[in-house]
Chains A and B, each alone.
Chain A
Amino acid sequence: MESDDMRDFATEARRFLDAHVAKAPDRTAVTWGEGDDSMAYFSSLPPEEEREFVQRAREWQRIRHENGFGWITGPVEYGGRGLTPVHDLLYDAIESEYDVADTGVLSVIGLGMIGPTILAHAQPHIRDRWLPAMYRGDAIACQLFSEPGAGSDLASVATRAVREDGGPSRSSEAESGGDWVLNGQKVWTSVAQHSQIGLALTRTNPDAPKHRGITAFLVPMDAPGVEVRPLRQMTGGADFNEVFLTDVRIPDDHRLGEVDGGWTVALTTLMNERATVGSEGVGPVGAALSPDHLSALMRATWTWDDRALRARLAELLVDVLATEHLNARALRKLRGGVAPGPEMSVSKLMYGQNLTRAAHFVSDVLGPRIIADTGQWGTYAWTELLLATPALRILGGTEEIMKNILAERVLGLPKEPVTAAAKEVRS
């Protein structure tokens, strides 16, 4: 069903990759005891190695970009290829066969979510300034949305932005005005420690209903008053941060969208978030869910004939493989030019659940070997995944919020009655 255009694109992608990188070893065909047994979902590297890791990501992004694969869906005037999301997915699928640097640190949030938001809502010279830099690998972007008091209920953000000079005398609809001063706290901000810019949601009108008093700004992370403090997460590593904003001065041209129109901007970001989460599946995480890997583990631990474990393995694999089928069908729909329905949300939910169940299944197979490190290959390493899985039911919209969305948007079930308090901004 693929067109000539797709075939040509795939050939070109392979030619590029063949010229620059080696084929990846097949991580699903396991030889027990050989190779890297890391099961890290979040990086947990010492600072020096972390810097090198980020450097390798930037470097590979630069090479991709120079060869026309850095921003496949981007407009040509910003250095993109002007192709479709399907080309993008196809490239990802092909690249996953190769041994390339992990670019998650810059691609998942920055290129996947913030880039499209800047493109849709920023002023032309801001797009010129940041988009090429981001897609060349020079600039990393983070998402300054969540706050201590605004998680699932994102529209209740309380970080204040106040327009400085002449604020009151100008119409709030003015195209460009005086600087803004930001004060507040963001939290759970992934990759802030590596970022040059962040997209912040702020409260500009505390008197309006909460969705209508928010404004979005692009914050240079080196601006005076921006302080990034690492937050250690339960895995032991520190991938996310607290970001304190104290009298941070932002020019009005760094505003995205209208004054008080930031919720529309946020929706662009969130829509792109749903499109990225759940599309993973390669690397250590792919291995965790591969039937070959799990059966190798059962053989190595002499549990392959345990009836109770076999039944649980089968149940787990039914979900893993059915989710793969769901993804494959959504992808095929996309290729045929049909927008997928609820598949992406279902896939995100299942992704978190499948990995969680896999981690607990493997723990039960390993028994004592996951409580204390015996030094045996491929055993205690699973603690890395086990400890990461709780995040997968929270980030990018918690399980409960995803279910509300499915039930309300897909099945048309009524929303909960909104209390007056829920419409207000909490102080």
Chain B
Amino acid sequence: MTADESELRELRASVREFLEAKSPEEAVRKLMESEPRFDPAVWSQAADQLRLPGLAIPEEYGGDGFGLVELGVVLEEMGRALFCAPFFATVLLAAQALLASGDRDACARFLPGIASGRTTATLAVAEDHGSWDPAMVSARAVPDGDGGWTVRGRKCFVIDGTTADLILVVARTVAGPTLFVVERDATGLAAEPMETLDATRAMARLTFDAVPATLVGAEGAGGRIMAKVLDIASVGLAAEQAGGARRCLETSADYARVRHQFGRPIGSFQAVKHKCADMLVQVELAEASSREAARLADEGSPDFPVAAAVAHACCSRAYMTAAMENIQVHGGIGFTWEHPAHLYFRRAKSSQLLFGGPAVYHERLLDRLGI
């Protein structure tokens, strides 16, 4: 299904209204310091009233069958509001990994729960070094002799790792990196929260000590699955980043219009004015690149992988720039704990480096272009 422009506008308006009511700054600040790092009641409402978790899950698995374009609108709004919820890990990482695996049984078993918001999930790939490259995975999986598998190893930087009901995990078998699913209450699984630069996105270290697991997709298919998931997840992340960057720009422009120094609004000084114009340029490019990548994904275009790499790099830079300059435009007040500017700064930096940062995504773009 695809929504037309006016439906997208409606979707945006209803998500924004919901988040303004349920995820104002006070709520974000409270959740940043609680466990779990989200409000289960609000999460249920997002699922029951707005059907957000199932938006882009195919109808045959209980979702509404929309695409990345619609998901992008929701993520822009979530990024704007710094919404604390298991949405990114569940919908962009875990659900996409299940879909990319092509494993119909696993999809039928897990996706309806995800679509309804009853199940939260995550994807554990990176280890101590932080790389999302499946070739770098050293966690191992061996057959348990009973048709199942046993996973051993450590995973790091696992988003919502202490709370997710389902953990999709990439571990190595004799056939290479392979995708498995592990349930929260499985024996031998330990999760320990990590302190994070961005407290609105929880991360954990997971230890797998002979944890029973189920194979998802083909043995050795982890590399192929992850390539696809990373493209989609980085476009989802790009949408969040574009939304956050737009918010920083708006905050700066609002402040620059009203804050007076030297008897003038600071926005009338060209040094400030041009800073805001530079932010606007970055934000326009960010929105264009993330929305265009989402469109290409939904059309199944062969240009999608390049567009995904462009969106990831462009939005990462745009958000970081906007978050930084937002503090600068605010002067001293922007440097305080009470002002929300630092929350965006933290989110911008952590998003930029989540999948490896510039060194990784620049090479990925060149690789996609065959350079």
A-side residues, CB < 8 A to B, are 291, 294-295, 298, 304, 310-311, 313-315, 317-319, 321-323, 325-326, 328-329, 336, 338, 342-343, 346, 349-350, 400, 402-404, 406-408, 410-417
Contacts and interface: CB of A to CB of B under 8 A. Distances in A.
Interface in B270-284: 270, 272-274, 276-278, 280-281, 284
Given A326-B285, A415-B268, A410 B280 contact: yes
B280 A413 contact: no
Interface string B85-115: 0000000000000000000000000000000
Contacts of A350: 281, 285
Contact of B281 (A311, A325, A349, A415): A349
B287 to A, nearest CB: 9
Closest 8 pairs between A and B when the two form their complex, measured CB to CB = A314-B362, A413-B267, A403-B277, A325-B292, A326-B288, A295-B371, A411-B253, A322-B289
A313 B367 CA distance: 12
B306 interface: yes
User: B280, B284, B286 — which one has the most chain A CB atoms within 10 A of its CB?
Assistant: B284
Contacts of B289: 321-322, 325-326
7 contacts: A291-B369, A298-B371, A311-B358, A343-B284, A404-B274, A407-B273, A414-B267
Contact of B264 (A311, A343, A406, A417): A417
Nearest to B264: A417
Contact of A321 (B249, B278, B306): B306
Contacts of B371: 291, 294-295, 298, 304, 310, 313
Given A321-B289, A403-B277, A314 B365 contact: yes
Given A411-B253, A413-B256, A417-B268, A406 B280 contact: yes
Contacts of A416: 268-270
A116 B188 CA distance: 75
A295 B370 contact: yes
Interface residues of B, number: 43
B371 to A, nearest CB: 4
Nearest to B289: A322
B41 interface: no
Given A343-B284, A403-B274, A322 B265 contact: no
B362 A326 contact: no
A322 B310 contact: yes
A194 B311 CA distance: 44
A322 B283 CA distance: 11
Interface in B171-191: none
A356 to B, nearest CB: 15
Contacts of A415: 268
Contact of A407 (B267, B286, B314, B363): B267
B307 interface: yes
Max chain B Cβ within 10 angstroms of own Cβ: one of A318, A412, A414? A318
Contact of A329 (B267, B291, B370): B291
Interface in B195-215: none
B257 A323 contact: no
Main secondary structure of the interface of B (DSSP, over half): helix
Interface of B: 5, 249, 253, 256-257, 264-265, 267-270, 272-274, 276-278, 280-281, 284-286, 288-289, 291-293, 306-307, 310-311, 313-314, 317, 358-359, 362-363, 365-366, 369-371
B252 to A, nearest CB: 9
B363 A326 contact: no
A315 B362 contact: yes
B310 A318 contact: yes
A404 B280 CA distance: 12
A412 B253 contact: yes
A328 B292 contact: yes
A404 B288 CA distance: 22
A325 B366 contact: no
B239 to A, nearest CB: 14
Contacts of B276: 407, 411, 413
A223 to B, nearest CB: 41
Nearest to A346: B284
A313 B366 contact: yes
Contact of A342 (B265, B284, B359): B284
A311 B366 CA distance: 9
A410 B246 CA distance: 13
A171 B37 CA distance: 76
A402 B274 CA distance: 10
B303 to A, nearest CB: 10
A323 B314 CA distance: 10
Contact of B285 (A295, A313, A346, A410): A346
B280 A407 contact: yes
A321 B371 CA distance: 15
Nearest to A415: B268
Centre residue among A323, A407, A414 by max chain B CB count within 10 A = A407
A326 B270 CA distance: 26
Contacts of B370: 295
Contacts of A406: 277, 280-281
Contacts of A412: 253, 257
A416 B268 CA distance: 5
A145 to B, nearest CB: 24
A314 B288 contact: no
Given A295-B371, A414-B265, A325 B307 contact: yes
A325 B253 contact: no
Nearest to B279: A411
B199 to A, nearest CB: 29
Contacts of A329: 288, 291-292
A326 B307 CA distance: 12
